[in-house]
Every structure is written in C-alpha cells, then in structure tokens.
Amino acid sequence: MTTLQHVETRFGTLAYREEGNGPGLPLVLCQRFRGTLDDWDPDFLAPLMANRRMIRFDSAGIGGSQGAVPDSLDGIAEVAIAFLDAMKLDKVDLLGWSLGGFVAQHVALAVPKRIRRLIIAGSGPGGPSEGPEPHPRVREVMAHPQNGEEDFLFLFYADSDTSRAAGRANLARLTAVPNRVPDVTAAGFMSQLKAIGTAKGVRDRLAELSMPVLVANGAHDVMIPAYRSYIISQEAPDAKLILYPDAGHAFLFQYPQEFAAEVSRFLAD
C-alpha cells in the first residue's frame, strides 16, 4: 500500500495515492458513489500501474479528504479540476467509474484540452434515457444506511453463481486493504445522492467529446443499464464500446486483468 498523500486546493485538503511510473501521461481515477480511493480493487490497479504513473484521489468531503461534498456533478467536477491544478497536471488520461464516469464527462467537457483520453466505466450520459430502466430495487438498496454483502452483490454483480463468486472475491480483496481511509459519511452520501438525482445529463453535448473515448460496462448492470453506455459510444465521435458477459456494474473487478489490459492498450495507441 502506498503512502496516503495530501494536496491543498480551494475546496480543502484532498487525499490521494500515487503509484507506478513510466512513459506517457498519468492516469487519474475518479471513484464511484459511496466509494473512496481505497475501494479500487488491487487486482485491477496492479497491472495498470506496472508501466505508468497512476493517481487515485478522494473528492472533497470523501474518505481521506477535507471539505464538503458538492451537491452537483458540475461541483464535483470542479473539485477534480482543482485537484489537477494543485498537482500541476496540465494534461492527463482520465478514468471514471459509475458516479466517477459522470464526473469524468463533466471534466472532459469543461477542460477538453487537458484530457488526452477518456475512459467511462459503468456509466452513461445522465439525464432521461430511452431503453431499459434500472432495476426497480436499485433506489431502495442504494438508500440503505449501510450496504451489506447481499446489497453489494445485487448492485454490482450479475445474478449468477459465477458473477456473485467474483463479487465475494472482490469484497475479500477490498477488506484486506490495510490502512484504509474512512468510509463516506452520511452527509457525504446525501450530497452525492442529490448530485446524481438533480443532474440534467450531458447527452446533448456528447458530440463535443472529441478525444478518444473508451466506454465499458457489464452486460447486466442493474444500476446503469448497458444501453446507456451504448448511447455514449454512438454519440461521442471517437468512442469504442466493450460489454462484458455475465457481469454487472463492477465488471472491471470481475474481469480485472482483462479490463486493465484493454485500458492499457487504449492508452498506448
């Protein structure tokens, strides 16, 4: 486990971990709803950091960071941009998962010249969408004060023995992570929930994402149906879509080696 570091921004002191090195721009990771910088699966991180500099951080008010959690996606994106400023990162590759995928799109639209390549995992453009709706139980389960193992498996993995087994293995790896930052607080959870619930979405601006974009999801995501990833791939001008079988929202941790290899190939092109 790398040392937890901190950097000062106008939103407060933000926590981050920096790993790996190598040629090319750093890869910055934006985390999911209710997730911290220590909720990235080690089996996914290890191959990514093998040949490049990688930075994962906690947004304002999350995990090891100070400040208050913004209650809008634009506000959370402003924190991410302030983090890039404080780290003196003029240009990066950006990977966002789930809520982080929404945030990454907002960042790329706000400062397009600073994002060389964009990876949107388990996410969509936000706002109203045609196609399948999230599973009717998602809102109820997401709103639980604490998400136990069954909640986690329902939200993040497909309803199959193989996918659920992968989910339990993912949970075991995360539980074994030492010196974890604090979990997301109730106040932070509510602000994130408001940010998601009030967002209008960016579908009408997807054509502005001129950088190469890699979009990926599990074929059976109950929270953000894979069709919404397909929308991005159709409307962003230079986007590639990958769907993983027998997998849900946490496909990247069910197939950590495979997806890390896809990411590495995409960033190396």
Find the CATH number of the domain harbouring 234.
3.40.50.1820
Q: How many folded domains does the chain comprise?
A: 1
Residue 123: give the domain boundaries: 5-268
The mean of the pLDDT values for the chain is: 96
Average pLDDT in the 94-123 region?
98
**pLDDT at residue 147 greater than cutoff 90:** no
Q: What string of H, E and C letters represents the secondary structure of 45-69? A: HHHHHCCCCEEEECCCCCCCCCCCC
Structural contact between residues 216 and 184, judged by C-beta atoms closer than 8 angstroms: no
Confidence at residue 113, expressed as pLDDT on a 0 to 100 scale: 98
Kindly report which listed range (43-57, 82-96, 101-115, 134-148) carries the lowest average pLDDT score: 134-148
Confidence at residue 61, expressed as pLDDT on a 0 to 100 scale: 98
Confidence at residue 22, expressed as pLDDT on a 0 to 100 scale: 83
| Side chain identity at residue 223, one-letter code | M
Average pLDDT in the 209-224 region?
98
3-class secondary-structure state, position 243: strand
Q: β-strand 115-121 against 213-218: which pairing, if any?
A: parallel
3-class secondary-structure state, position 23: coil
**pLDDT at residue 1 greater than cutoff 90:** no
Confidence at residue 188, expressed as pLDDT on a 0 to 100 scale: 95
**pLDDT at residue 65 greater than cutoff 80:** yes
